[in-house]
Structure 1
Amino acid sequence: MSLDSPWKILKSNQIYDNAWIKLTEHQVINPAGGQGIYGEVHFKNLAIGVVVLDEDYNTWLVGQYRFPLKAYSWEIPEGGGLHTVDPMLSAKRELQEETGIIATKFTEIQKMHLSNSVTDEMAIIYIAQDLQIGDSSPEETEELVVRKLAFDEAYQMVMTGEITDSMSVAGILKTKILIEQGKI
C-alpha cells in the first residue's frame, strides 16, 4: 500500500486568513479520478487541554458559551498554544488563566487530531497534579464558570453526553483508564 497522496491538487486559493486560522480551497482530482474541491482549515496554534486531579481525585471543569455551537459547554481547561512554544508551558498558562490553579506536575497523556477530514488541528492533553489554588485571569473573550467536582462525576458527564467537547471526552476517558490501571 502506497503512503503517497492519492489526491492531485490542480490549484489552491487562500479564501480567508486571521490570527488563528487560514482557509484554503483546493481544486482537486480525487482518488477515484473525479474533479472537485476540498476546503482545508489550517490552525495556527496547538490545541491544549488539561485534566486537573487533586490528591482526592477531584477535578475542575470550565463552563462557557461556545459561539460556533450556539450552546453552553462543560470542558476541561483548554486553549491554544503557539507551535513555537513548549506545549507544557501553554498548558500551565491556560490552566492558570482559566482556573487560577498552578500545578507542579504535568503528564502528557494524549496527542490527537481534532477533525482530520477538514483541518490539521493537533491537540495535546495533559494531567495536572500537585495543585495550588489561586485566582483566574480569563481572556476578554471568555466568560467562564469554574466547577470543582469528583473526577467520577466528570466521567459520568462524558458517559451521559453532558460533556461533548472532543478534547474533554478523550482526556477524561484516558484519565479514567490510567486511574483504573493504577498509573495515576
Structure 2
Amino acid sequence: MEYEEKTISKKEVYKGNIINVEKWQVLLPNGKEASRDIVIHPGASVIIPLTENNELYMVRQYRKPVDAELLELPAGKLDEEEDPEVCAKRELKEETGLDADELKHVLSVNSTPGFSNEVLYIYLATGLHEGTACTDEDEFLRIEKVPVKKLLDMILNHEITDAKTIIGILLADRIIKGEMKI
C-alpha cells in the first residue's frame, strides 16, 4: 500500500465498558513519525426489520452524547468474540421483541475510520414475528413502525441524523425497489 502507516508502538490510554482508547506511534510513508489516538471498539450489528408493507421497525431513544432523542434502527454492540449474526438476532429481540424468519447480511461499513476500528454489520430481517422486548436495565426506548417512504423524507428533513440508520434506510429502499439483491 502506497500510503500505509507502519505501527511502531501501542499504549492503552483508557479502558471502558464500550470502548478502549490507545495511542499509537506510526511511521509515515515519508519516513516521519506521528501519533494516532485510536478508539478500539468490538463492532456492532445493525438490523433493518422490514415488514411486508415496506415499513421498518425503528427505536426512539435518548442519546446523551448528542443530547437528543433519535429515531434509529435497532442495533447493538458485539459481546466479546460474538458472531455479528448472533448479535443481530439478540439485539432485534431485546430492543423490539421481534424474531425474524430470515436474517441476511447486507453490508459491513467502517463507522469512523479516521479514529476508530469499529465495524458495523448490517442485516436485513424479514418474516417478522412480534413478541416482547427485553431491553437492558439502562435502556429506555419506544418502538415505532414507519413506512420507508416516510423515513426517506425524514432523512431529507434532518429528522433522522444517525449515520447507521441513514445507511440502513437507503439500503431498504434499494431492496424494496429491486435495485439490490442479497
TM-score by length of 1: 0.88
Find out whether 1:53 has 2:50 as its counterpart: yes
Q: Which amino acid aligns with 1:24?
A: E
Find out whether 1:27 has 2:35 as its counterpart: no
Match of 1:37 in 2: 35
Match of 2:10 in 1: 12
Match of 1:153 in 2: 150
TM-fit CA distance, 1:53: 1.2
| Sequence identity (%) | 29
Aligned mate of 2:60, from 59, 63, 68: 63
Find out whether 1:107 has 2:104 as its counterpart: yes
Match of 1:137 in 2: 134
SS at match of 1:26: strand
TM-fit CA distance, 1:88: 1.5
Is contact 1:30-1:36 (8 Å) kept? yes
Q: Give the Cα–Cα distance (whole angstroms) in 1 for the partners of residues 100 and 114 of structure 2.
A: 34
RMSD: 2.0
TM-fit CA distance, 1:7: 2.5
Q: Which amino acid aligns with 2:120?
A: A
Aligned mate of 1:84, from 81, 86, 90: 81
Match of 1:75 in 2: 72
Q: Which amino acid aligns with 1:36?
A: A
In the alignment of these two chains, the number of paired residues is: 181
1:76-120 deviation line (CA, Å, top 9, x unaligned) = 011112362332121111011101111111121111000000000
Q: Give the Cα–Cα distance (whole angstroms) in 1 for the partners of residues 16 and 139 of structure 2.
A: 19
Q: Which amino acid aligns with 2:139?
A: E
TM-fit CA distance, 1:144: 0.3
TM-fit CA distance, 1:20: 2.5
SS at match of 2:116: coil
Match of 1:180 in 2: 177
Q: Give the Cα–Cα distance (whole angstroms) in 2 for the partners of residues 77 and 147 of structure 1.
A: 11
Q: Give the Cα–Cα distance (whole angstroms) in 2 for the partners of residues 8 and 181 of structure 1.
A: 43
Question: Which blocks of at least 5 consecutive residues in structure 1 are unaligned?
Answer: none
Q: Which amino acid aligns with 1:100?
A: G
Question: Which blocks of at least 5 consecutive residues in structure 2 are unaligned?
Answer: none
SS at match of 1:68: helix
Is contact 2:44-2:84 (8 Å) kept? no
